[in-house]
Structure 1
Amino acid sequence: MGQFLLVDSRKLDGFEGLHEAVHGSHVDVMQLGRGRLRGTLSHVGIGDFSLSIGAFNVGMRTQRSSSDDKLIIGMLLSAEERVAHWSFDMQLNDVLVIPPLLEHDGVFHGASAYAAMRFDLSDVTSLFGGEARLSDPGTWRSRGHFRADPDTGAIASRRLVRILSHLRDNKYGLTSSTADFWKRSIVECMAANVMSSLPPDDNGWLPSARRLIRRVEEYLDEAGTRPVHVSEICAALGVSRRTLHRAFQEVFGLGPVSFLRHKRLCAVHSILKESAPGSTTVASVAMQHGFYELGRFSQYYLAMFGERPSQTLGLAKWQTAGDDIATV
């Protein structure tokens, strides 16, 4: 799977499998519902960062000791009946914060599915960069519950599952540069639901849009060809996601996510166009530039360039063959 990506996926046959419900953290589990527990559990590790997604078919009681020094942020993906963590009644896509060294207990009254990130508290400044309330480690030092917006929460939940699925099926591994991008993509799914629960913060000073855009483009130039996530830009430049979005809308008429996607599409196009025959594949180049849904990537690519990525790669092969003939 590559140096920066470790994947473990298994089927559950009994509640004991949920002792490792969160990668790297032991959880005491007791089955509440009747019947044989069935389910699935997947872990994706990107360096010291991990994402776990589990699903099970009967009620469960979970308890976690205070020995874990990592921050855990979880999301409820589905639930047939009531789910409560501490005194918080969870609704779909809600986000739960379990600070380091804090005991935790939860009750799932029926079949449920969840996602959980686990990483060092010191990493929040980088991973949640640009959003002052989220990038402050103090925000995460106490247990918390964030109510998700129904619409954006559902989108974030589906995206999170798709990311795990594509990383789990990834055959190419991750480089050091793309590993950071995928961590940020996972964190963003959780952050979207947290931000929808917070009051708006419109009191900050909005820098000149063009000056901010210039700083962004200078940062992207220094990053080279690696994919850069919006949250990385916010952290590096010390601006909020809202400020960045307003600046891009003013200058380009599109948001920073769309802008970065266009930039990555251009990078993929250049690589495919210049690749030697048999030296690469569309899938590997797309993955290394942050595209994990190849069908959607192809749609973006076709809309952008008027041809499919395989056609660009094929054209590169044809041009190379033509050059060889010309030299004979």
Structure 2
Amino acid sequence: MGSLTFDSDDLEATEEFLCRAYARMSIGSTTPESSRARIRRDAGASVSVDELDLDFEMTYSVAPLGRICLCVVHEGTVRDHVFQGVRDDFGPGDVVMFAPPDLPFAGRIRNARYNITMLDPGLLDQVAAGSGRTLLEPVRLTGHRPHTPAAAERLRQTIIYMRDHVLGDPAAATEPLVVSAGTQLLAASVLAAFPNNAQTDPTAQDRVDAHSATLRRAIAYIDDHAHEPITVADIAAAAHVTVRTLQYAFRRHLDTTPLGYVRQVRLSHAHRDLLAAGPGDDTSVGAIAARWGFPHPGRFASLYRDMYGTSPSHTLRG
């Protein structure tokens, strides 16, 4: 966890670093006059976001990563990228999955600046279950390119947000709620962008169990644990129902989602802290927002204004 950087023109040192950072691999250079590699990694417990800059043509052959590996190309090209059943080339602006977690892959990168984002596959299961989808098996991405250019762009923006405002921001990266919310947002964006095997529809039993007592148990758990990183699965377990039942209960009775309700509760706690801050306190809106899982000040201000009809800075001053 945390940030690290690597800068070397020694190909063997670069290969050693990449093996430690990703998985067992072999690399080579077809441009021996240069082999400079610059890498920055920002990482959490289940997500890492890397920016890589290579000024040479690097061939690679990589063992299975065990993680979902996404690539966003900024400059240069990725050529002859292959894994089981797929051969493709990528260029500037492309957002792709390099390979499923259990498959090796190979190719060559030509003088490229690009992003590699990796995440635990189990995060997709959590998000898919949280959206009310039926999981007959673990979630798999069934295509290596997003559905549409618009879906790819939304995912690219989410990766940038995760890099700049969550993992790459030292203050935000130490806030468990911020990291948890950002990680779930990234996993949801991946699930929305790529074709996958998850299905939808609550069952008849889910509909029967989505009664007011279920909602009361869920709300009590959220109220008691809003200061902690909690998932939809955690809330469902506390309410003694399936995730689909939980989703349906919140939709039926409150016209929102469980995580939407969590956000409302955290906004109310932030509101309370803003009201409690005295004139002499060394307290900022940004610090209170981050404490309750809102790392982006503009987004927090917009949500706060929608809920309370005024700006958080006005509440703090008032």
Q: One fold, TM greater than 0.5?
A: yes
| 2:250 pairs with 1:251 | no
Change (3 A) 1:230 1:78: farther
1:156 maps to what in 2? 155
2:224 maps to what in 1? 222
| 8 Å contact from structure 1 (residues 97, 144) kept in 2 | no
1:322 maps to what in 2? none
| 2:292 pairs with 1:286 | no
Structure 2 residue identity aligned to 1:6:
G
Change (3 A) 1:61 1:234: farther
Partner SS, residue 111 of structure 1: strand
Structure 1 residue identity aligned to 2:159:
L
The Cα of 1:158 is off from its aligned counterpart by 0.9
Count of paired positions: 298
2:164 maps to what in 1? 165
| 8 Å contact from structure 1 (residues 72, 116) kept in 2 | no
The Cα of 1:187 is off from its aligned counterpart by 3.0
Q: Given the alignment, which residue of 53, 63, 66 partners 1:56? A: 53
| 8 Å contact from structure 1 (residues 269, 309) kept in 2 | yes
1:238 maps to what in 2? 242
The Cα of 1:176 is off from its aligned counterpart by 5.1
Distance 1:204 1:152 in 2: 29
Distance 1:262 1:197 in 2: 30
Distance 1:170 1:38 in 2: 27
Q: Given the alignment, which residue of 4, 7, 26 partners 2:3? A: 7
Distance 1:35 1:134 in 2: 52
| 8 Å contact from structure 1 (residues 12, 40) kept in 2 | yes
Q: Given the alignment, which residue of 265, 270, 273 partners 2:272? A: 270
1:326 maps to what in 2? none
Distance 1:97 1:314 in 2: 51
The Cα of 1:159 is off from its aligned counterpart by 0.9
Change (3 A) 1:257 1:25: same
The Cα of 1:269 is off from its aligned counterpart by 1.0
Distance 2:297 2:15 in 1: 32
Distance 1:123 1:227 in 2: 14
Length-normalised TM-score, structure 1: 0.69
Structure 2 residue identity aligned to 1:188:
A
Partner SS, residue 71 of structure 1: coil
| 8 Å contact from structure 1 (residues 213, 247) kept in 2 | yes
Q: How does 1:184-223 map to 2 (within 5 A)?
A: 184-194=184-194, 196-198=195-197, 200-202=199-201, 204-205=203-204, 206-208=206-208, 209-211=210-212, 213-223=215-225
The Cα of 1:35 is off from its aligned counterpart by 8.4
Partner SS, residue 184 of structure 1: helix
Change (3 A) 1:183 1:172: closer
Distance 1:271 1:22 in 2: 46
Distance 1:223 1:53 in 2: 32
Distance 1:180 1:199 in 2: 22
Partner SS, residue 42 of structure 2: strand
| 8 Å contact from structure 1 (residues 76, 115) kept in 2 | yes
Structure 2 residue identity aligned to 1:174:
T
Moved more, 127-136 or 148-157: 127-136
Partner SS, residue 298 of structure 1: helix
Partner SS, residue 60 of structure 2: strand
| 8 Å contact from structure 1 (residues 77, 114) kept in 2 | yes
Q: Which runs of 5+ in 1 are unaligned?
A: 316-328
| 8 Å contact from structure 1 (residues 55, 112) kept in 2 | yes
2:72 maps to what in 1? 77
Length-normalised TM-score, structure 2: 0.71
Distance 2:188 2:29 in 1: 32
Q: Which runs of 5+ in 2 are unaligned?
A: none
Q: Deviations over 1:30-56 (max 9, x none)?
A: 345798577753323334x34132243
1:28 maps to what in 2? 26
Q: Deviations over 1:226-281 (max 9, x none)?
A: 354456546775324xx765554443344455443333222211112123442532
Change (3 A) 1:82 1:125: closer
Q: Deviations over 1:89-148 (max 9, x none)?
A: 457333345536x644243456352333255x7787667654554973xx67xx974442
2:106 maps to what in 1? 105
| 8 Å contact from structure 1 (residues 184, 231) kept in 2 | no
The Cα of 1:17 is off from its aligned counterpart by 4.6
